[in-house]
Homo-oligomer: A and B are copies of this chain.
Amino acid sequence: MIILSRSEIEAVVDLGSALGTIEAAYIAASEGRATMPPVGYLAFPERDGDCHIKYGHIAGDPSFVVKIASGFYGNPSIGLPTSNGVMLVFSASTGVLEAILLDEGFLTDLRTGLGGAIATRALCRPDARRVAIVGTGIQARWQIRCLRQAMKQTPLAFSIWGRSENKARETASALASEGIDLEVAPDLERLCRGVDIIITTTPSREPLIHDAWIRPGTHITAIGADAPGKQELDTSLVIRADRRIGDRLEQSLDHGEFSTVFKSGLMARKDCAELGAVLCGKAAGRTRPDDITIADLTGIAVQDIAITNSILDAYRLSSVSHPRKPR
Q: For residue A66, which residues in chain B have a CB less than 8 angstroms away from its CB?
A: 51, 53, 68
Q: Considering only CB atoms, which chain B residue lies closest to A66 in the complex?
A: B68
Contact with B along A213-256 (1 / 0, CB 8 A): 00000000000000000000000000000000000000000000
Whole-angstrom CA separation of A41 from B38 in the bound complex: 9
Q: For residue A93, which residues in chain B have a CB less than 8 angstroms away from its CB?
A: 47, 49, 72
B49, B78, B102: the one within 8 Å of A97 (CB): B102
Evaluate contact between A42 and B64: CB separation under 8 angstroms.
yes
* Stretch in A84-92, A179-187, A266-274, A308-316 with 4+ CB within 8 Å of B: A84-92
Q: For residue A84, which residues in chain B have a CB less than 8 angstroms away from its CB?
A: 90, 94-97
Whole-angstrom CA separation of A93 from B42 in the bound complex: 13
Q: Is A3 interfacial (CB-CB < 8 Å)? A: yes
Q: Is A57 interfacial (CB-CB < 8 Å)? A: yes
Whole-angstrom CA separation of A100 from B1 in the bound complex: 13
B42, B49, B92, B102: the one within 8 Å of A56 (CB): B42
Contact with B along A142-174 (1 / 0, CB 8 A): 000000000000000000000000000000000
Q: Is A70 interfacial (CB-CB < 8 Å)? A: yes
Q: Is A258 interfacial (CB-CB < 8 Å)? A: no
Q: Considering only CB atoms, which chain B residue lies closest to A327 in the complex?
A: B327
Q: Is A40 interfacial (CB-CB < 8 Å)? A: yes
Q: For residue A37, which residues in chain B have a CB less than 8 angstroms away from its CB?
A: 40-42
Q: Considering only CB atoms, which chain B residue lies closest to A71 in the complex?
A: B95
Evaluate contact between A47 and B92: CB separation under 8 angstroms.
yes
Whole-angstrom CA separation of A57 from B64 in the bound complex: 25
Evaluate contact between A95 and B51: CB separation under 8 angstroms.
yes
A81 to chain B, nearest CB (A): 9
Name A88-118 residues within 8 Å CB distance of B.
88, 90, 92-97, 100, 102, 104
Q: For residue A104, which residues in chain B have a CB less than 8 angstroms away from its CB?
A: 97
Q: For residue A55, which residues in chain B have a CB less than 8 angstroms away from its CB?
A: 40, 42, 51, 53
Evaluate contact between B72 and A94: CB separation under 8 angstroms.
yes
Contact with B along A30-55 (1 / 0, CB 8 A): 00000101001111100101010101
Q: For residue A287, which residues in chain B have a CB less than 8 angstroms away from its CB?
A: none
Q: For residue A100, which residues in chain B have a CB less than 8 angstroms away from its CB?
A: 100
Q: For residue A43, which residues in chain B have a CB less than 8 angstroms away from its CB?
A: 35
Tell me whether A35 and B42 are in contact in the complex, defined as CB-CB below 8 angstroms, given that A3-B3, A68-B66 are known contacts.
Answer: yes
Q: For residue A317, which residues in chain B have a CB less than 8 angstroms away from its CB?
A: none
Whole-angstrom CA separation of A64 from B49 in the bound complex: 12
Q: Is A17 interfacial (CB-CB < 8 Å)? A: no
Q: Is A318 interfacial (CB-CB < 8 Å)? A: no
Q: A66-B68, A83-B95 are in contact. List 10 more A-B contacts (CB 8 A).
A: A3-B3, A42-B56, A51-B64, A51-B66, A51-B95, A53-B66, A70-B90, A80-B96, A84-B94, A84-B96
The 7 closest A-B pairs by CB, nearest first: A70-B95, A72-B95, A84-B95, A40-B40, A72-B94, A86-B97, A66-B68
Q: Can you show 10 pairs from A to B with CB atoms below 8 A apart?
A: A40-B55, A44-B92, A44-B95, A47-B94, A49-B92, A80-B94, A80-B96, A84-B90, A84-B96, A100-B100
